[in-house]
Amino acid sequence: MTTSRAPHPSARGAELTRLPAYRSTDPTAQHPDGVIDLANNELALPPLPAVAESLRHNADRVNRYPDPTARTLHHAVSRHFATGPEQVVVGPGSGAVLQQFLLALCGPGDEVLYPWPGFDAYPLLVALAGARGTPVPLTAAGEHDLPAFAAKADARTRMVILCSPHNPTGRRIPQTELREFLAALPPHVVTVLDQAYLEFDEEEDTSDLDLVHARPRTVLLRTFSKAYGLAGLRAGYAFAAPDLAALGRRTLLPFSVTRLAEQAAQISHDHPQQFASRLELVRSARTRLCEGLRAEGLAPLRSYGNFVWLPLGAAAERFAAAALGAGVRVRACPGEGVRISVGGDEAHRRVLTAARDFGPPGG
C-alpha cells in the first residue's frame, strides 16, 4: 500500500508551514535544574508592589471579558505622554502592535525592510501579513546600516522597521542620522521605530514624540514588557499620526488586552520614582556586567538596553554552551554573537564564570 502525504488544505497553509517557528526557550523548563534565564531580555525584578496588589485584586474578575478596545490602557498612555488619544494605538504587547500595523498596511507584493540580526519576530510577522521581508545586515560595529536601507527602499517598499536601542546589539541610532534618514525616505514608506528598550537609555527623553510630527509616516513602538517588567501580562502601544494610528487600531484583535494588563500598565505610570530607581539598578548592573566581561578579555558593545552583546562570531554557540554549563542561559545568534540580559548578582557571577572557562574567543 502506498501512503501519500495529505495535501495542504490551502496554498496559504503550505506557505505558513514553511515559516520558521519563533525561537524561544520553554518557560516550563526554565528553572527545574536551577538554570537562570538571561535569554529573553526580561526585567530581573518582581512587579512593583502596587502592580502585584492590583493583580491580586483583579484575579477574581477573570470570568468577565475585558474592554474589547482596551480604553483604560489607551487613555492611560495618552494622558501619561500628554498626546491626543487619536495618536495612540494599543495592543497585547508591542509585537502585537507591530503586527496590527503590518496587517493594516502591508500585503502580497509589498516589501518590508528590517535590520538583521534583529528581533526574531520581524520576519515571522512580515510573512504572516503576506508581505516580503528583506533583512538589511547590521554594520560590523552592530549598528543599523542606514545607507543600505535607503538604497534598498524602492517602489515596492511599504515599511521600514528600525530598532533603537537595537535587539540584539544594544546600539542606538544617533538622532541626527535618524532624522536625516527619515527625511530622505520616499513618502509611500512607513517607518516603524521599535523603541522596546528606550527607557534603559539614560540619554533619551521618552516623552519626546517629535519624530511623529517631524515625519508623519513614522510609528514609535513601545512596550510595558521591558522596563516596566510586565512581559507576562502583554501590553504595548505606539504613537503615530492620527490617520496612521486609526489603521493600527482597526486590526486590534478585540478583547486581546486583558483587564489585568490594562490596570497594571496604568498603575506603573503612577509610580515614577520607583520606576526611575529600578531603571538605575538595571543600568548600573549593566555597567558591572560589561566591566566583568572586559576583565575576562571579552569585548561587549556599549549597550543602551537591558542586555549586553558579545560579538563572538563563530564562537557564539560555544560561549552559550559554556554559560549553560555554568547555570545560566543566554541567547546565541549563531555566527554573530551572544546576547546576555542584565540579571541579578548570582546570574552575573555565573556568566563571568562561563567567560573565564570559555577563554579567548578564537580558542
Positions that interact with ligand PLP (CB under 6 A): 41, 93-95, 119, 163, 167, 194, 196, 223, 225, 231, 236
Note whether 138 and 144 are within 8 A (CB): yes
* Smallest separation, CB 155 to ligand PLP (Å): 28
Looking at the Cβ atoms of 181 and 224, the one nearer to ligand PLP is 224
Looking at the Cβ atoms of 171 and 352, the one nearer to ligand PLP is 171
Looking at the Cβ atoms of 196 and 320, the one nearer to ligand PLP is 196
Looking at the Cβ atoms of 101 and 119, the one nearer to ligand PLP is 119
* Smallest separation, CB 165 to ligand PLP (Å): 8
What residue has cell string 508591542?
Answer: 94
The residues facing 113 across adjacent strands are: 134, 160
Looking at the Cβ atoms of 209 and 231, the one nearer to ligand PLP is 231
Residue 225: which of 100, 93, 101 has the closest Cα?
Answer: 93
CA distance 257 to 240: 20
CA distance 279 to 7: 52
* Smallest separation, CB 302 to ligand PLP (Å): 18
Residue 19: which of 95, 128, 119 has the closest Cα?
Answer: 128
* Smallest separation, CB 12 to ligand PLP (Å): 24
Looking at the Cβ atoms of 95 and 343, the one nearer to ligand PLP is 95
Looking at the Cβ atoms of 157 and 223, the one nearer to ligand PLP is 223
**348's grid cell:** 552575573
Q: Which helix (H) or strand (E) holds 116?
A: strand 111-116
The one-letter amino acid at 210: D
**332's grid cell:** 546565541
Closest residue to ligand PLP: CB criterion: 93
Looking at the Cβ atoms of 112 and 163, the one nearer to ligand PLP is 163
* Smallest separation, CB 154 to ligand PLP (Å): 25
* Smallest separation, CB 221 to ligand PLP (Å): 7
Non-local (6+) Cβ contacts of 319 within 8 A are: 310, 312, 330, 332, 338, 354, 355, 358, 361
Note whether 127 and 102 are within 8 A (CB): no
* Smallest separation, CB 167 to ligand PLP (Å): 4
How many other β-carbons are positioned within 10 Å of the β-carbon of residue 243? 10
Q: Work out whether the CA dihedral 326, 332, 337, 339 comes out positive or negative.
A: negative
* Smallest separation, CB 187 to ligand PLP (Å): 25
Note whether 260 and 208 are within 8 A (CB): no
Phi, psi of 57 (to 5 degrees): -65, -40
CA distance 301 to 312: 11
